[in-house]
Amino acid sequence: MEIKELYLEHYGKFRDHRIALQPGVNIIYGRNETGKTTIHSFIRAMFFGLERGRGRQARLDEYSLRQPRDNLSSFAGSMTLLEDGETYQISRNFSREQQSCTVVCQSQTAEAGDGQEVIRRLLGEMSEAAFCNTLFVRQARMETDEALMEELRGFMVNYDQSLDLQTDVSKALQSLQKKKKQFAQKKKAEEQLLEEKIGRRQAEADYVRREIDSLKEKEEELLKRPPEQFRREEPEARDRENAEEEDKGRNYRVMTEALLVAAALLAFAMAWLFRVPQLRIFLCTFAFLFLALLFPVHRLLSGDDEEEQEDWLEEKERQLETVREQLESQEDKYRQLQSDLELLYQNHMKLEGSALEIEALNLAISRITGLSSSIFQESGGDLARKTSEILTLITGGRYTRVSLNDSMEIQVQSKDRMLKLYELSFGTMQQVYFALRAAAGELFAKGKKLPLILDEPFAMYDDVRLAAALKWLYRSGRQVILFTCQDRERRILEEIKAGD
């Protein structure tokens, strides 16, 4: 199988984003927080979908983490595959209200049948748990040596094929039960702490969101309000003495204009009473003069009103500026809270590793209970053989065989003796882990060459180990999608290609 294209129609922070992929090793490079893990998650979601959790867990699961924030109703994407010469397009709508999955064989231009069933056949009947434990490598977690050993133990128990040595079933069950209890207690405590932090941040974000909405409404109301209302509705903001002076000035103007009108009327009345023509002309002239003075006097004494109008406009602009500054501050705070929530959600998703470990332990307990103590008697099983082949290549022949002892502990054959896992360096333990996952992936795929989807799997590798792993991947003949925040993978891969 080969993945040809990813189309993140609306997934996480991505919208209308296409990624074309090629056969062989594809390196997707980007700095931290650029969306590599989101794309990595998208591939898994296209194969198996995203189920939303129930109750309190619903806001902490992968569905909630990847659901677009700007449009909750748009949550979809597609992936194009090449399998046995046929091109298939998987399309999914992840939205809970419109959830759907269709698979179209493009050469037949028709749906290939029930979407999830077709995908299952394309994956060689591999389950989601097997896929995530083998071909789909999440971003590397910092683990203790013992935790890594326990994960390897649980993983090997999951496989029904033969292992190298017989193990004591009762002792294995006791060990698994003890480890299960420890993981469950640790997971519960960490989940409770994270949920409390998330709850506080979410409540604060909701409050800030309401504040933003309130400020936006206030801004719209200020823009619509006439300037003169600012003085009447907010008299406390003004100086009382200035307000009294403005009232006196306005009264003085009205009184002066009234006196001019009264004087003009009086002059007209006296001119009407007196019969002497010269006196009439004199009085009418004064009457017209008084009326003519009304306009300049009004203009002269109304200057304070114009200044008051300007004051109103300034007050309006001042209040708008204050509201906008508060709005900008709250929006910055909201963005920071959303970033904090994203980080908390990611930390919570990392706890899924503990859940997978508990699930693996439960499955191991169930299977061991139903099997006889001779389940591991047959040596040289396919899993051990394939793991050993890969480990030999990526360690340059330094370690040649992987097996289990009767305590179900991993042992690795060096050139001169068998070594327990804790006797190896952390880098070598990571190589064992990688070889085991790759080998199990081949077995679970039932002969199909499925892509390896790796998110920062080599963060703890030095350049020598990285070169060996990349060389095996390059020569494996399968498609690899490698996500990394470092440029050295691309540089070393180019050197490998140039040397072949």
For residue range 131-157, list pLDDT tens digits in order: 887 888 876 543 434 544 444 454 444
Judged by average pLDDT, the poorest of 232-241, 356-365, 452-461 is 232-241
Q: Which of 45-54, 156-165, 206-215, 417-426 has the lowest mean pLDDT?
A: 156-165
Helix 463-475, helix 426-444: angle, nearest 10: 10
User: Per-residue confidence at 376, pLDDT binned at 50, 70, 90?
Assistant: very low
Kindly state the DSSP code that residue 358 receives in the 8-state scheme: H
**Listed residue (449, 441, 454, 438) closest to 493, CA to CA:** 454
E strand intervals along 313-472:
399-404, 410-414, 418-420, 452-455
In the chain, the domains with their CATH numbers are: 170-372 (1.10.287)
Tell me, what's the pLDDT at 460? Answer: 81
User: How many other CB atoms are found less than 10 A from the CB of residue 172?
Assistant: 20
Lowest mean per-residue pLDDT among 74-78, 173-177, 252-256? 173-177
Supply the DSSP symbol for 164: S
Whether residue 167 contacts residue 372, with contact meaning beta carbons closer than 8 Å, is answered with no
From CA 99, how far away is CA 93, in angstroms rounded? 5
CA dist 74 → 10, 14, 61, 67, 68 (Å): 6, 12, 18, 9, 7
How far, in Å, CA of 301 to CA of 253, rounded? 6
Distance CA 474, CA 485 (A): 19
* DSSP-assigned letters across all residues of 170-198: HHHHHHHHHHHHHHHHHHHHHHHHHHHHH
Spatial distance between the Cα atoms of 163 and 156, rounded to a whole number of angstroms = 8
CA distance 412 to 399: 7
Q: In the numeric block, which tokens belong to residue 462?
A: 């030095």
> Please, are residues 1 and 479 in contact by the beta-carbon 8 Å criterion?
yes
Strand order of the sheet with strand 25-29? Answer: 25-29, 480-484, 452-455, 136-137
- What Rg do the C-alpha atoms of the chain give, in angstroms? 40
pLDDT of residue 379: 35
Kind and range of the H or E element at 49? none
Beta strands in 405-490 (DSSP E): 410-414, 418-420, 452-455, 480-484
Over pLDDT 90: what percentage of the chain?
A: 15
CA distance 143 to 429: 11
Task: Copy the structure tokens of residue 467.
Answer: 């070169």
The answer to whether 46 touches 77, Cβ cutoff 8 Å, is: yes
Calculate the alpha carbon distances from 412 to 81, 420, 437, 471 in Å.
37, 6, 15, 22
Residue 181: what pLDDT? 78
Q: What is the overall mean pLDDT for the chain? A: 77
pLDDT tens per residue across span 475-495:
988 999 999 888 899 999 999
What distance lies between CA 59 and its chain's CA centroid?
13
pLDDT value of residue 486: 85
Least confident interval from 241-255, 320-334, 481-495? 241-255
d(CA 221, CA 227): 12
